[in-house]
Structure 1
Amino acid sequence: MRRATQTAIIGFADAISAGVPVLAQELCHEIAGKHTCDLRLSKQKLAVEFPAVNYGEVLDEEDPYWGDGLTRESQEAVSQRGSNFVRWLLERPETKVVVATHSNWLASLFNAVLEIHEQASDQAEVGCDLTAWFDTGEMRTVLLAPL
């Protein structure tokens, strides 16, 4: 969560300075287990390091997806979190949001959760495949609508 938060704060510094709220959501957590770089800091440490972020949606003090630390979280579990996130997001009042998260999580979201009907012409012209792997810091525009 630290790396994604750092990216969001750097990439959207002007919006944050203008008062756009920043909300952490545990469901967007990178695939967990085995690799200590993917172990989330405690909620308290994150709140101290990133005081501009609202951690109200992070319910557990410690990383709930870490498990025994020896086993990598399954892609199915990551995809289920992605599905839960989409349901949560569709219930939110905001109509424009930025999701700053990790490429593996996004790959699961775009390949196992979302049903992609068509791409905007400007995305097709630049060769943007919504199901392709995200590059570091890459941004894509998506219209999310319930089926």
Structure 2
Amino acid sequence: MSTGSNDGATAMPHISDDTAAFSHVPEYGFSLFLANRTKTIHFVRHAEGTHNEANHAYGDNTPVTYSTDGSWRYMDARLTDKGIEQCVTARETLLTDVNPQLVVVSPLTRTLQTAHIMFGGKDLPFLVHDLCRERHGKYTCDKRRTKTEILQDMKPIYESTNDIIDFNSFAYASEEDQDWGEHREPDDSCTGRGIKMMQWLATRPEKEIAVVTHSSWLKHLFRAFGQTVHEKDKKRLHRLAGNAEVRSICLALHKGAYIYIYICTKMISNIFIIGAHIATFRVLPRREMGWRCFYSQPRFFP
């Protein structure tokens, strides 16, 4: 990028090694990024689980609290029939504009079920990763089963559709869930796991990745960003994700070579298309992390 005379155009900002991948001139109303330094991440919250159903009926999280769920009825909660329907609807409407090359999944059962119904049978690799599991502690629904139980239960389901699910990245986790306890995981810890996941995603070779995860985990990740953007955009980014909602972001690396996918997003409710537009991304700076996060409109399958 030239630093010489610009014939009256806006003066070019200082170029550093960290910012050389992009150019942002506020008055222009847009930013430019090198295409090989960005990638698209589709964050998917799991569909309705039995714990969501119980909480909705009661009015709060009391049914799944450690002190009230003595029978562990909601431990590692499964999808409800409604949740399965949400996944089917999402699958039918997502195929036109969400085409991940990799699906990363939380090790909890409801996310493994959601990932398989939404993306299974399409010759995609599935990778289980503990970093994107739900914020743990206090609620029985967020305590995972043993690794052996999860493998015995879920691996045959994936293999039935000729899908390959990789539990190797999950191998460092203990057989029993030693992270879960009576007290909720600290906010900083949950946010930190989200940042580590983003840093790990940045190292992946895929151009487009789906991450099937949870609402509290997403809330902690997204609220680490967006403090300098317009209030309307901030609310969209920070809003709690609904069941089976897909929220897509553009991950832009300050350093390294990655691929950018320009996507068209849709807001869908009850399978009716309300509107469609080319995604608009806003700068959410976190320079110390070596990347920036941009988001598009969510899609929601109630």
Q: TM-score interval w.r.t. the shorter chain? A: 0.7 to 0.9
Partner of residue 197, structure 2: 85
Matched, 1:40 2:40: no
Partner of residue 4, structure 1: 111
CA-based RMSD of the aligned residues comes to 2.1
- Contact residue 226 and residue 237 of structure 2 kept, 8 A: no
The normalised TM-score by structure 2 is 0.41
- Contact residue 107 and residue 133 of structure 1 kept, 8 A: yes
Which residue identity lines up with residue 188 of structure 2 in the other structure? Answer: E
Report the 3-state secondary structure (helix = DSSP H, G, I; strand = E; otherwise coil) of the residue aligned with 1:134. Answer: coil
- Write the distance in 2 (CA, Å) between the matches of 1:45 and 1:117: 44
Report the 3-state secondary structure (helix = DSSP H, G, I; strand = E; otherwise coil) of the residue aligned with 2:237. Answer: coil
Q: Residue 137 of structure 1: which of 244, 255, 268 is its match?
A: 244
The structure with the largest helix share of the pair is: 1
Partner of residue 27, structure 1: 131
Partner of residue 76, structure 1: 188
Query: Which structure has the greater CA radius of gyration?
Result: 2
The normalised TM-score by structure 1 is 0.82
Alignment gaps of 5+ in structure 1: none
- Contact residue 134 and residue 217 of structure 2 kept, 8 A: yes
- Write the distance in 2 (CA, Å) between the matches of 1:116 and 1:17: 40
- Contact residue 82 and residue 108 of structure 1 kept, 8 A: yes
- Contact residue 75 and residue 108 of structure 1 kept, 8 A: yes
- Contact residue 27 and residue 85 of structure 1 kept, 8 A: yes
Matched, 1:62 2:176: yes
Report the 3-state secondary structure (helix = DSSP H, G, I; strand = E; otherwise coil) of the residue aligned with 1:33. Answer: coil
- Write the distance in 2 (CA, Å) between the matches of 1:43 and 1:98: 22
How big is each residue's C-alpha offset from its partner over 1:68-89, in whole Å with a ceiling of 9 and x where there is no partner? Answer: x221111111001001111111
Which residue identity lines up with residue 140 of structure 1 in the other structure? Answer: R
Report the 3-state secondary structure (helix = DSSP H, G, I; strand = E; otherwise coil) of the residue aligned with 1:49. Answer: helix
* Matched length: 134
Report the 3-state secondary structure (helix = DSSP H, G, I; strand = E; otherwise coil) of the residue aligned with 1:99. Answer: strand
Which residue identity lines up with residue 50 of structure 1 in the other structure? Answer: M
Identity, in percent, stands at: 34
Matched, 1:105 2:217: yes
Partner of residue 61, structure 2: none
- Write the distance in 2 (CA, Å) between the matches of 1:116 and 1:94: 29
